[in-house]
Structure 1
Amino acid sequence: MESITLYFREGPSDKVYQASIKPKDGGFMVHFAYGRRGATLSTGSKTQQPVEYQIAKGIYDKLIKEKTAKGYCPAETTAPLQHTDKIRSGILPQLLNPVESHELEKLIHDPACWMQEKKDGRRLLIHKQGDTVTGINRLGLTVALPPSLIEEASACAGDFLMDGEAIGDTLHAFDLLFIDDDDIRGRRCGERYLHLMNLLGSFQHPHIELVPSQFTTAQKQCCYHELKQRHAEGVVFKHSDAPYISGRPSAGGTQLKYKFYETASFIVAKANDKRSVSLILFENAKARPAGNVTIPPNHDVPSPGAVVECRYLYAFKESGSIYQPVYLGPRDDIRSAECTTAQLKYKAEVMQAAA
């Protein structure tokens, strides 16, 4: 039957997690094992007695989704990628769950909840250690940095690990994980932000911009409406006491995001005529069509199998196709396994939120 082995490596942590579906007494059991790599694993079962296959499959899929959201990767992705200079950095960024529109009012009025603009770029961490400056993407892989960012980071007297969103050659910085040898990920969000402000005040950095935070209800309301009017991507809400936790929570969390429009990552199935490609998504390990998107003249037509990002108005529940798609570009920092129908917002949901 089905089985998978997942790995997680960050700093001193080097863990393994195994899950499987096995037949028993005419039904199926979901088993798991976990522990340090190379050590004896603790074992258990997610089912107390045999269940129908569809029930077991649902438990199994949910288990894998929860673990991959926390940064666990299949065995083949734990080694350095072939044909590239990207290697695993041992650092994974914190990823946020979306918040629904009916929850916005509560977050805006919560004095312990800060708000920032959600920048429309690519996740990028900058790690400075001595004379070495390294970029890290959302998969925890090292990536090349623009010369301007390397030069400016090198001008800082101390070492740091900074998190932000890259747009062109500019990093929009919103969090700080390390100062010299001090790991501050477990400290309050407000304290880390203050350290980030002080760090950026210590050297010249025209290509590193601090993302402003709004603290009061009035500030958040004003900023929210201004961002929506200029068609920004969205906003991020952070509890002032929240630590920095790598990976994505299985649900909710102390740091949340709200987008003003829908985006999703898709797999290119094939190239069509007139600079168009067909898109697919996975649903319970099966490929489902998700419509077509036209590739603008300023982008290369992606090859089949590539992961791409698209903006859309909503998806149709019956066909799974997206309505009014806009091609945003390739995503080499998104795994194919993340391209699932769970990303989609369907027409009825979008219409209800707008009402």
Structure 2
Amino acid sequence: MPTLVEETLDKTTLYYREGGSDKVYQCAIEPAGNRFVVNFAFGRRGSTLNTGTKTNVPVDYDAAKRIYDKLVKEKTAKGYTPGPDGNPYHNSPKADRFTGLLPQLLNPIDEAEMNRLLTNDNFCMQEKFDGRRILIQKQGTTITGINKKGLVVGLPECVVQAAQCLPGDFILDGECIGDTFFVFDMLSNHTDLRVLPYRQRLVQLYNLIASAQQRAIRLVETAFKHDEKQRLLKDLRAARKEGVVFKLLTAAYTPGRSNSGGPQLKHKFYATLSAVVAKINAQRSVEIRLLGDDGWQAAGNVTIPANQSVPQVGQVVEIRYLYAFKESGVLYQPVFLGLRSDVEPMECLATQLKFKAEEDAC
């Protein structure tokens, strides 16, 4: 029988909309044993939210309520207002703990290689999503989110509930976009599946997802034959999606990234890279840099949209761009996409640069 306090735990979703801004902030008092914690999540509406806690250690309910009320008051004073919808995030008390589980990463290919793989029936093709790479592990009733660095992270509550609807213990691989988890692989289902060919893992994944009704975990569409790939490619280009992924159907699951090539490959319809903020300029602009053979090199400036916070020096940001100038390495038409907390500064290499086609031919 729940106590009165457990029945009246507070949670709220706040929104801020002005001009181009559309932000969401969620906070909640959650039980932690016999005590309580105050957790929060924030970010752009419809995006994967950042999570955190206001209580490094659990406190009694009265202390948690004071922290919670102060947090809500601070946000409403800044113009946030309550809203009836929105899915609260499920925060883990083991956030940032290394799990030892790492996803298989993809190597990029050019358009010529993409066209070759379209006709190769040994490779299937899927959409490349522009989200946050996440593994979901279910052990009994415990659901854990794991990022590409192998660290425990928060998950949308609706994704947690959807995972709990699925039978048995498992580890799923996919991308989280907003309140939806797009799943494309399964590492275990009671037993380790990573040694199996991708085709067999995919069949077991289909069976798992079909075994329960839920909406927050969705299978990624997979094209196997040439005509199916051509149709999917046409649809993705028309919808201005990020790109496509090719996976060798006979390959096992290998964590990390191959030195070159490999059984899982990606082709982006536009170029993106991760860079380090080197300087904050006037009028919501930052200078970015990349690590080259001779040390750090400038890659130009990028404007930060009004609906996003200006990143700090040293933070890693994701940038979309048309191409880079070969003589300078400066990006042409860069667009700020957001922060990358799952990428280390030393991973922001100049080898990410994609140069203008006619310059490559010189």
1:71-118 CA distances to partner (integer Å, 9 max, x unpaired)?
xxxxxxxxxxxxx93011110100010111111222111111100011
RMSD after superposition: 1.4
Q: 1:303 aligns with which of 308, 312, 325?
A: 312
Would you say 1:120 and 2:156 are equivalent positions? no
Distance 1:93 1:285 in 2: 31
Structure-1 separation of matches of 2:358 and 2:198: 32
One-letter amino acid matched to 2:317: V
Q: What displacement does 1:226 show?
A: 1.5
Tell me how far 1:207 sits from its aligned partner: 0.8
Secondary structure in 2 aligned to 1:257? Answer: strand
Cα distance change, pair 111–211 in 1 and its aligned pair in 2 (3 A): same
Pick from 149, 153, 178 the counterpart of residue 188 of structure 2. 178
Deviation at 1:350, TM superposition (A): 7.7
SS of 1:126 mapped into structure 2: strand
1:219-259 C-alpha deviation (Å, 9 max, x unpaired): 10111122112211000011110111000000000111110
Instruction: Give the equivalent residue in structure 2 for 1:347.
Output: 356
Matched, 1:141 2:167: no
Structure 2 counterpart of 1:202? 211
Which residue matches 2:303?
294
2:173 paired residue number: 163
2:121 to 108, 111, 117: 111
Q: Structure 1 residues 326 and 350 mapped into 2: Cα distance closer, same or farther (>3 Å)?
A: farther
1:151 pairs with one of 158, 161, 174: 161
Counterpart Cα distance in 1 of 2:113 and 2:164:
42
Instruction: Report the secondary structure of 1:173's partner residue.
Output: strand
Alpha-carbon distance between aligned partners in 1 of 2:248 and 2:178, rounded to the nearest angstrom = 29
- The one-character-per-residue Cα deviations of 1:156-203 (angstroms, maximum 9, x if unpaired) are 2211100001111111100000102x0000101011011111000112
1:333 pairs with 2:338: no
**Residue of structure 1 equivalent to 2:249:** 240
SS state at 2:273 partner: strand
1:280 maps to 289
The 3-state SS of whatever aligns with 1:317 is coil
Letter aligned with residue 308 of structure 1:
V
Q: Is the 8 A contact 1:127 1:160 kept in 2?
A: yes
Taking structure 2 as the reference length, what is the TM-score of the superposition?
0.72
Partners of 1:204 and 1:125 lie apart in 2 by 20
Q: Deviation digits for residues 291-334 of structure 1, max 9, x if unmatched?
A: 00011111111000000001000011121110000100000001
User: How far does residue 266 in structure 1 lie from its aligned partner after superposition?
Assistant: 0.4
Please list every run of 5 or more consecutive structure 2 residues that lacks an aligned counterpart in the other structure: 1-93
Q: Look up the equivalent residue of 1:133 and give its one-letter code.
A: I
Post-superposition offset of 1:349:
6.0
Report the counterpart of residue 98 of structure 2 in structure 1. Answer: 88
Equivalent pair of 2:326/2:359 in contact (CA under 8 Å): no
User: By how many angstroms is 1:205 displaced?
Assistant: 2.3
- Large movers: runs of 4+ above 4 Å: 349-352
Identity level (%): 49
Which amino acid letter does the alignment assign opposite residue 201 of structure 1? A
Letter in 1 for 2:215: P
| Secondary structure, counterpart of 1:185 in structure 2 | coil
Q: TM-score, normalized by length of structure 1?
A: 0.73
**1:261-302 deviations in whole A, cap 9, x for unaligned?**
000000001111111100011113611001000111111110
Counterpart code for 2:248? H
Contact 1:281 1:289 in 2 (8 A): yes
- Per-residue CA deviation, residues 18-65 of structure 1 (Å, 9 max, x unaligned), is xxxxxxxxxxxxxxxxxxxxxxxxxxxxxxxxxxxxxxxxxxxxxxxx
- SS, match of residue 155 in structure 2: coil
Which residue does the alignment assign to 2:234? 225
CA–CA distance in structure 2, aligned partners of residues 298 and 172 of structure 1: 26
Unaligned runs of 5+ in 1: 1-83
Question: In the alignment, is the contact (CA less than 8 A) between 1:314 and 1:350 conserved in 2?
Answer: no
Task: Supply the distance in 1 between the matched residues of 2:300 and 2:168 (Cα, whole angstroms).
Answer: 49
SS in 1 for 2:173: strand
- How far the C-alpha of 1:204 sits from its partner, in A, is 2.3
- Figure out how many residues of one structure are paired with residues of the other and give that number: 268
- Give SS of 2:277's match: strand
Find the aligned partners of 1:195 and 1:349 in 2 and give their Cα distance.
45
Output the CA distance in 2 between the equivalents of 1:256 and 1:123.
Answer: 15
Aligned to 2:261: 252
| Residues in 2 aligned to 1:285 and 1:151: alpha-carbon distance in whole angstroms | 49
1:189 equivalent among 198, 213, 218 = 198
Q: Determine helix, strand or coil for the equivalent of 1:241.
A: coil
Question: 1: CA distance between counterparts of 2:165 and 2:231?
Answer: 36
